[in-house]
Each structure stands twice: as structure tokens, then as C-alpha cells.
Structure 1
Amino acid sequence: MASHSWLMLERESPRHRLPDDLRAGDPMGGRDCGWVEQMLPFVRQFSRPGDTVFDPFAGFGTTLLAARLENRLASGCEVDAGRIDLIRERLTRHGLLSGTTLLHGSCDALDDGALPPFDLCLANVPYFGCRWPGTPSTAQLYDSQSYAQHLEGLRHVFYRVRSGLREGGACIAMVQNIRLGDRVLPLAFDLARILGSLFVMEEERVLVYPHESEEEKDSADARTDRRHEYGLVFRKQRERIDLKATAALLDALRAQGHAFTLLGSFARFLQGPQDTQGTPPADADIRVDPDPQRLNALLHWLRDQGFALTSWGDPVPLPLHFDSYRGRYYFRADRIDSAGALVRLDICYEQ
């Protein structure tokens, strides 16, 4: 893949296009089917022959087909049984069904061990507001009843993706911001925030699709025609933090009278670098009493020092309403300075 930040897609190959008879049998007429040409550059750059490429939203098998064309193993989950059958037929026609694993259901609902490990996650995500006409299913994100519910469903899926993705593997999501009537929903940016709570962002690509006519090209209408989307590239890897700045933060917390117990990898790091076995800590974990007043004071102080406060990727507003966070176990405090250096503190308040 070229090093520039955009990928211009010129045409869809008739050889790889979803056949018309399969498209006609889909509840949505195949209108959300991506291009194999869209996926091939990502398969080539972010995996190797023999690796397993996983798609948690297998849909029409476009990602799986791209993976098999490049001599990768393919694995995918799909909640609609009809589309499972469609994928099998599509790959069979290409002679590429062998080496493919298809799982019926949402990956976050699978039993432990049912999802084989994989080297790359590559997916087109379902869009909100599509008015799914197929078989109803609580796992069908096309049928989400609210935007908040849709985002929560995406969070659950990618949380499970993280557990199956090998260390160092890439998680790549194709997504665009969407227009519903006169309202624009920042789905791409909201998904980036969700993925950022689970992985480390590495890159983005803007995928640009061709216009259908010269008249469209010359249009003076400033409203977007939505012929682009984002390829959000994240990596499952440990963050790099500023170790000295993190140690200074802990000293400052003690000086301010905030009581805590330091634990985990940063505690071992302070005892001696040899105890980390060459792997530096990715954060500092502290345990505090689950006292709402003390927690509120601690979070206020961190916010005043320039830290962003989150809980499972969601911003934490202050003053703290502690009961809303019971069962979430910890708050995260991040601060990135103007040189890009990160200080990260995980504040554990429950066992």
C-alpha cells in the first residue's frame, strides 16, 4: 500500500463483484457490500500468507474473499443466517471455501474458545439507521433502536476482538460518518474513540470512490455525497508512556495527600528495571478506597493537571456520580504533552 494517507478506488472488478443473483437474495439487496479491491491492500500490508484474517461483521464475505485470494486463512462471524449461506456460495464459486471458518452469531456472544485466534481484524462496520428488513435479532446492529445502543454494540464486539487478536496484530475498521435526514452522526469519530480505548491508533486512510457521472463531479452543492470513508488502523500493543513523568505524577499525588497503593508493572519497574524483563510498563495502576468524596477530589485534581478522564472509553464528567460506575472497576487518566509523551494512570476502585 502506498504511504500516502488516501486510497483512490477506481473500479470494482467484475470478477470479484458480488454476483447479481446473490445480491438479489439479500434482505437489503446487497447495498452495503464493500469492494474486494477495498480490502486487498490492507490484507497485503497488515498480514502475511498463512495468517488468519477475521471479520466480526462478515456480511457478504468480501473481507474473507480478499483474504483467501491472498493465501490467508479467513474467519468471520455473521448474525444473519441467510448471509452465512450467501458467503458459502460466493466463496464456493471462487473455489476458496476451504480455509474459511464461518461462525453464526455475534462474536461477543460466543462461548470462550469458540473464536479461534487471528492475526488481523479487518471489517466494514454496520451502519446505524439502515432499517434492517431481514430476520429480527437482538445482535443485529443494522436494527439498533438508538445511536447509543449502536455504539455500545460496536464496543462489545471490538472488546471481544481484542481478546482474539494476537499481540501486535492490527484491527482495521472501514467506517464513515452518516447522514440521517438533516442530521450527521459522527460514527467514524465515535468508533475511533471506542477503538482507542482498546487498541493503539497507528494510522488512518481515506478511501475515495469514483463518481458515477461528470454531472456529479461538477455539482456546486457543498453537501457531501458520501463517496469517501475512513480506514481506521489500530494495533494491539502496549502504549509507550513517559516513565519519569509518571513517577513524578505519583510523587505529586502523595504530596497532595491522595492515598493509594501502587501495584502492577510500574511498581515492579520502580523496584528495578530488571524486574520488567525488558518490557516497560504501559501505565501506572493504583488502588484507592471506593470513597466517592475522595475519588471526586482525586479526579478533580487530575483534571486540573490536564488529564482526560474516561471509564471504558467514555468521558467522566465531574462532579462524580459514583454509583453510575460501579462494576466498571477503574477510571483512566491520560495526559499527552505537546511532544506527544503520554502519562497514563489507571485508578482501580473495586476488586
Structure 2
Amino acid sequence: MNNASWLIPDADPPEWSLPADIRARDALGGRDCGWVNQMRPFIRHFSSPGHRVLDPFCGFGTTLLGAHLEGRHGLGFEIDPDRAALARERLQRHGLHADIRVGSINGLDAGRANLCLTNVPYFGCGWTGATVDGQLYLQPTYADFLSGIRGVFHAVRQTLEDGGFCIAMAQNLVVAGRRFPLAWDVARILDSLFVAHEERVLCYPAAALPANPGSTKTNRSHEYALVYQKRRETVDLKGTAEVLEALRLSGFSYELFGSFQQWQEQGQPIAARLPADADLLLPLEQDQLNALLRWLSARGFQLTLWGEPIAPSLPLETWQSHHYVRADCRGRDGSLIRLDLCCEPKSTSARG
């Protein structure tokens, strides 16, 4: 793989394509099956021989087949038992024993993986297969669908080794004439769990036909490979300390704890690692909490609750049930100040 921001995958040779008889037995006719040659460059570039490659939406086992061809070990999760059986059959025809587990990764033990590489499912595809709890194709609303996506990638984060990459391939969609920014919404979810790198644009051959004047429709022959990594963020320590002092001078009460508090006391990295955020324990006072959110918002902080943007006002019960609110301020010089705002006992805090 070179450093071009776009990639045109080679079409799969017949021996690696999804067999026609397997395609015919699928609820969607296999139309959401990716290419082996779409996955292989990413497997080669972001993992090493012998590594474990995870696909939490494994479908027909395309990523797992690519992993085998590149000398890696594949692990797949597929929530639909019929598709899992078809994937196993496909790989068995290549003489491969497939480690495919039926169910969602956020409900099963996955062990450890070095790379996550997957195509995310599409919203509104008209699934006609079995009704299974957690089947994202059957989610009634886009918000429910994205919540399910987030749950899966949260489990992926627990599975990945430190330094491992998470690469999700996604396309913005048009359903009933309405555009759904799926790729960008998946990126927003991944932003809350991993450190973002530059994306690749994957381009596929498609006929370009004349368009009527004013037509906005395209042949939708591209998707995004969103490249993320499980590692600690780098934050602006001086800027963070200045914000914390400004909070005190503005009359906000908080208790600093966790790695930033230790760094301030010791003046050096803890266990050779710099803090990735500052953890604040706040008093259980609704008006003061909302005033703090307004103060931060007015100073350019983006407020999120488990990756979802929020307004500078939040019910105390919601805050407590989600453990913390994240406040990020990104400067024009690329700097980052990150505060995790907790309002629960430190002993049960989700951060530290």
C-alpha cells in the first residue's frame, strides 16, 4: 500500500468471489458482500504475519479469507446464524477452518486481536432474513442503528491490543431519496473510542452516465476506509492546567483525580505515559453542572455523552447513568484539551 489517499481495489478472481449458489441462499442475495482484494492491502499494511484479524460484522467471511491469504488468523462475529453457516461453508471450500462465532461481539468473549477490519452494515437495506435480537438491519430508526454500531465498536476497543488499528469501511447512503451520512456518523462514533488517522477513499468501477441539468444523483461508486488506532491521545498539558485554573477562578468546584492529578503532583509522566485527559469529580448540583457546561461551550469546548453531541444542559440522572461527560477543545494549532466530567463517587468512575 502506498500513501495515496484513494485506492482502486482489484476485482476478485473467480476463485475468491462469493460462489453463486451461496449467494442465492442469502436473504439479500449477497449484495452486501465485499471483495477479498478490498481487504488484503489493509491486512498487509496494518498487521503482521501470525496476527489475529477481527471482523465484528463478518457476513460471508470475506475479511477472514483475506486474512488467511495474508498469513493471519481470522476471527469473525455474525449475528445471523444462516449467514454464519454460509460463511463457514464458503471458507471450508477453500480448506479453511473458520473461527466464526454466532452472535454480537458485545455479548461474547472475543479474546484479543491485533487488527479490526470490517465493512459496517447498511441502514434501510430491506432485510428479509431471520429476526434475531440485535440484528442491525432490523433496527427501526437510524438512531437505534447507530446506537447498535457504537455498542459493537465499544466491544472492539476492549478486544484490540494497545496500538492495534480499527478500520471500518462505510458509505453514505440514500434511502427513499433521503441521504443518510452513515460514513460520517460511523467516524463520529469511532472518534469517541479511538485516535483518528487519515481515511482512504475506495473507488470502484462503475459506468458514468449523462446527468440531467440540476440532477444531484451520482453512481455512488466510492466508500471510505476510516482508519483509527487504539492508543492514548496526546493533550496540551499546559493548556489543560490553564483551563483548570480558570475554572477555579470562575467559582466552579471540582476535585481533580486520575493521571492528570498525579502528573501535576509529580511533575513527570506516570509509568512513562503522559495524561490523555483530566478527570474532574463534580458536586451533585444540577444548576452548577449546567453552568459549567455553558462555560465550557462558550469557550469552544465540544460536549459529548458517549460520543453523542449534547447541548450545554443535561439532566443529572442522565449524567450519572452515563458516568461522565466529555469536553474537548481543539485549537487551530492542532492541540487538544480534554476534560472528563464525572459526578459520581470516584470508586465507581468509568475513567481514571
Amino acid at match of 1:188: A
CA distance 1:243–1:84, shift in 2 (3 Å): same
Structure 1 CA distance for aligned equivalents of residues 296 and 268 of structure 2: 30
Do 2:297 and 2:312's aligned partners in 1 also have CA atoms closer than 8 Å?
no
Pairing 1:8–2:2 present: no
2:217 to 206, 216, 223: 223
CA offsets per residue over residues 168-203 of structure 1, 9 Å max, x none?
A: 100010100100111000011111111100001012
Do 1:10 and 1:210's aligned partners in 2 also have CA atoms closer than 8 Å?
no
CA offsets per residue over residues 193-249 of structure 1, 9 Å max, x none?
A: 1110000101201101001x4xx3555654122111110011000000011111111
Do 1:329 and 1:348's aligned partners in 2 also have CA atoms closer than 8 Å?
yes
Structure 1 CA distance for aligned equivalents of residues 7 and 293 of structure 2: 42
**1:139-158 matched pairs, under 5 angstroms:** 139-158=134-153
Structure 1 CA distance for aligned equivalents of residues 239 and 245 of structure 2: 10
How far apart are 1:275 and its partner, in Å? 5.7
Do 1:11 and 1:210's aligned partners in 2 also have CA atoms closer than 8 Å?
no
Amino acid at match of 1:251: E
**2:241 matched residue in structure 1:** 247
Structure 1 gaps of 5+ residues are none
How far apart are 1:9 and its partner, in Å? 2.5
2:101 to 97, 100, 103: 103
**1:276 matched residue in structure 2:** 270
Pairing 1:207–2:202 present: yes
Pairing 1:127–2:125 present: no
Helix, strand or coil: the match of 1:136? coil
Count of paired positions: 343
Helix, strand or coil: the match of 2:304? strand
How far apart are 1:322 and its partner, in Å? 3.0
Amino acid at match of 2:129: G
How far apart are 1:139 and its partner, in Å? 1.3
Do 2:269 and 2:275's aligned partners in 1 also have CA atoms closer than 8 Å?
no
1:338 to 332, 336, 339: 332
Structure 2 CA distance for aligned equivalents of residues 277 and 156 of structure 1: 30
Judge which range, 9-18 or 29-38, deviates more. Answer: 9-18
Amino acid at match of 1:177: N
How far apart are 1:329 and its partner, in Å? 1.0
Helix, strand or coil: the match of 1:174? strand
Judge which range, 167-176 or 315-324, deviates more. Answer: 315-324
Judge which range, 88-97 or 190-199, deviates more. Answer: 88-97
**2:318 matched residue in structure 1:** 324
**1:161-200 matched pairs, under 5 angstroms:** 161-200=156-195
C-alpha RMSD of the superposition: 1.3
Helix, strand or coil: the match of 2:15? coil
How far apart are 1:11 and its partner, in Å? 2.3
Helix, strand or coil: the match of 2:14? coil
Pairing 1:137–2:132 present: yes
Structure 1 CA distance for aligned equivalents of residues 277 and 239 of structure 2: 11
CA offsets per residue over residues 242-281 of structure 1, 9 Å max, x none?
A: 1111111111111111111110000111112446122100
Helix, strand or coil: the match of 2:198? strand
Structure 1 CA distance for aligned equivalents of residues 228 and 296 of structure 2: 27
Structure 2 gaps of 5+ residues are 346-352
TM-score, normalised to structure 1's length? 0.95
Structure 1 CA distance for aligned equivalents of residues 203 and 140 of structure 2: 30
Structure 2 CA distance for aligned equivalents of residues 167 and 64 of structure 1: 22
**1:59 matched residue in structure 2:** 59
Give aligned-pair identity as a percent.
49
TM-score, normalised to structure 2's length? 0.94
CA offsets per residue over residues 139-170 of structure 1, 9 Å max, x none?
A: 11111111111000001100011000101100
How far apart are 1:84 and its partner, in Å? 1.3
Do 2:303 and 2:312's aligned partners in 1 also have CA atoms closer than 8 Å?
no
Do 1:58 and 1:76's aligned partners in 2 also have CA atoms closer than 8 Å?
yes
Amino acid at match of 1:119: N
Give the ranges of 4+ consecutive aligned residues of structure 1 lying more than 6 Å apart after TM superposition: none
CA offsets per residue over residues 303-349 of structure 1, 9 Å max, x none?
A: 11111111101112133333333311111110011010000011111
**1:80-99 matched pairs, under 5 angstroms:** 80-97=80-97
